[in-house]
Amino acid sequence: MTARSIESEGEPKVGGDGPAPVWGRVVGIDPGLNVTGYAVVDPGPRGPIVVEAGVIRPGSSDRALGQRLEHLYQNVLELLAAYPPGALALEKVHSHAKFPRTAILMGHARGVIMLAAATKGIPVFGYAAARVKKTLTGSGRAPKDQMQRAIQTELGLAEVPEPHDVADACAIALCHYQIGRALRG
């Protein structure tokens, strides 16, 4: 699977003018201010399938924070208009004592993503990295290669999604998909 980057082309449509949400569709997002991965996962006859995946590049740290957040917000709105989901799954903020700034910046990115979803009336579900790993592999401490194999197998992909931001977004979407399936059935 090859990821693509989305760039804004005009104003995204906000409101009820676009297509109706697809029941069971999940948009998974791995938030970041430099690179945000996303994956649109639909239910299929043999399991979940990736409809679209790629990255949003809000810009490097030489751009003002407000500009990067606005770019991320507009691109998420565009994504949600093009692929209206029933739910948005988002990685929860994780922090490490050595890198508190990372958690703060990730919190900014999560905030604008959640705002975009709220603008569209889309429910947001947050998952900790350990929960995603446990749901997909059975172990909350699964190594990256085990996670990649689980994503590849579950989605029936010929290769592991690249870059890692897309793979992480696929994992978050799959986590929500599997938890929802367990609750329904």
CB 184 within 8 A of CB 43: no
Taking only the tens place, the pLDDT of each residue in 154-173 is 999 999 999 999 999 999 99
Q: What is the pLDDT of residue 8?
A: 33
pLDDT at 180 over 90: no
> CA 52, CA 49: separation in Å to the nearest integer?
9
Taking only the tens place, the pLDDT of each residue in 79-96 is 999 999 999 999 998 767
**Domain parsing of the chain, residue ranges:** 4-184
Q: What is the pLDDT of residue 101?
A: 83
Question: Buried b vs exposed e over 75-99: b needs ≥16 C-beta within 10 Å?
Answer: bbbbbbbebbbbbbbbbbbeeeeee
pLDDT at 185 over 70: no
Q: What is the pLDDT of residue 161?
A: 92
CA distances from 74 to 27, 69, 117, 144, 184 (A): 16, 9, 11, 31, 33
Residue positions annotated with a catalytic role: 30, 91, 165
The stretch 54-81 carries a mean pLDDT of 94
Going by the DSSP 8-state scheme, the letter that residue 92 receives in this structure is P
Neighbours of 155 (CB within 10 A): 22
Q: What is the pLDDT of residue 184?
A: 64
Q: What is the pLDDT of residue 17?
A: 58
Neighbours of 157 (CB within 10 A): 17
pTM for this model (two decimals): 0.88
Mean pLDDT, rounded, of the chain: 88
Model confidence band, residue 1 (pLDDT cutoffs 50, 70, 90):
low
CB 113 within 8 A of CB 78: no
CATH number belonging to the domain at 4-184, selected among 3.40.50.2000, 3.30.420.10, 3.20.20.390, 3.40.50.2300:
3.30.420.10
